[in-house]
Amino acid sequence: MSRVAAIIPARWGSTRFPGKALHGIAGKPLIQHVWQRCLEANIFDRIIVATDDMRIMETAFQFGAEVALTSPEHTSGTDRIAEVAKKLKRTSIFFNVQGDEPLIDPRLLRKLVKKFQQSEKSDLITAACPIHPKEASNEHTVKVVTDRSGNALFFSRSPIPFVRNGAEAQHLKHLGVYGFRRKALFEFVRLKPSPLESAEQLEQLRALENGMTIRVVVSETNTIDVNTPEDARAVEQQILGGNGGARHLS
């Protein structure tokens, strides 16, 4: 079976929330919650925090994580992951588990890895969950539409599909986790940013514009990605509420 690594990219700089990787949530830094979710999945051969910041590195060491110190020149988490991946010669699948997703469901991570290992047809794999139409209008909520085989057709900050004349359609929110096959990862980071990627400010569109296949697994649970202190408080309320963070859609 293919060896699989989970890599958690973490940087200090954030326009809306500087230092959020170390922001305390329910008594632990945000990045530790993400790391623990990966551990709970019990599916990864390696779990590595990838950062260019000594404060994050030292904190991650203290709670027991494996850490890779990476270049400060990277413009994206995927570039940071590719730097780490070059050193993991025996690993063929890499998961980008974003450092601001403290409520990512370990069951979803396990499902993604198993599906990716069982099929060689997709270059990448990611996840989405159903959302209500009102949430689809939020530009900070990234939406995805798929074909009948579950492959991504497009990602957008706009509501997709656009529903006319009272027609029924399901809106899917993209969740912040990606799996790359080794070859696809290195091919992706060699590509220049694409026109649609630049327009939407969504990195995954670079893969689609260059003919890569992205499989989308639909999850039953939604999560909160932390972009602001308000998001962090909402996450803390869910964790302290004892439901483990996953919120089922009503």
- Structure pTM? 0.92
Percent of the chain predicted with pLDDT > 70: 96
Instruction: Using the predicted structure, report yes or no on whether residue 246 has a pLDDT greater than 60.
Output: no
Mean pLDDT, rounded, of the chain: 92
Instruction: Express each pLDDT in 194-211 by its tens digit.
Output: 999 999 999 999 999 999
Q: Average pLDDT in the 15-32 region?
A: 91
Instruction: Express each pLDDT in 52-84 by its tens digit.
Output: 999 999 999 999 999 999 998 888 889 999 999
Percent of the chain predicted with pLDDT > 90: 77
Residue 244 pLDDT grade (very low, low, confident, very high; cuts 50, 70, 90): low
Instruction: Determine the Cα–Cα distance for residues 236 and 103; give it in Å rounded to an integer.
Output: 10
Instruction: Express each pLDDT in 81-105 by its tens digit.
Output: 999 999 999 999 999 999 889 999 9
Structure tokens at 94: 């890499």
What's 78-101 look like in SS3? HHHHHHHHCCCCCCCEEEEECCCC
Residue 249 pLDDT grade (very low, low, confident, very high; cuts 50, 70, 90): very low
Pick the CATH number of 4-248 from 1.10.10.410, 3.40.640.10, 3.90.550.10, 3.90.180.10: 3.90.550.10
Instruction: Determine the Cα–Cα distance for residues 236 and 243; give it in Å rounded to an integer.
Output: 11
Residue 241, pLDDT score: 86
Structure tokens at 247: 């919120």
Instruction: Determine the Cα–Cα distance for residues 85 and 77; give it in Å rounded to an integer.
Output: 12
Residue 247 pLDDT grade (very low, low, confident, very high; cuts 50, 70, 90): very low
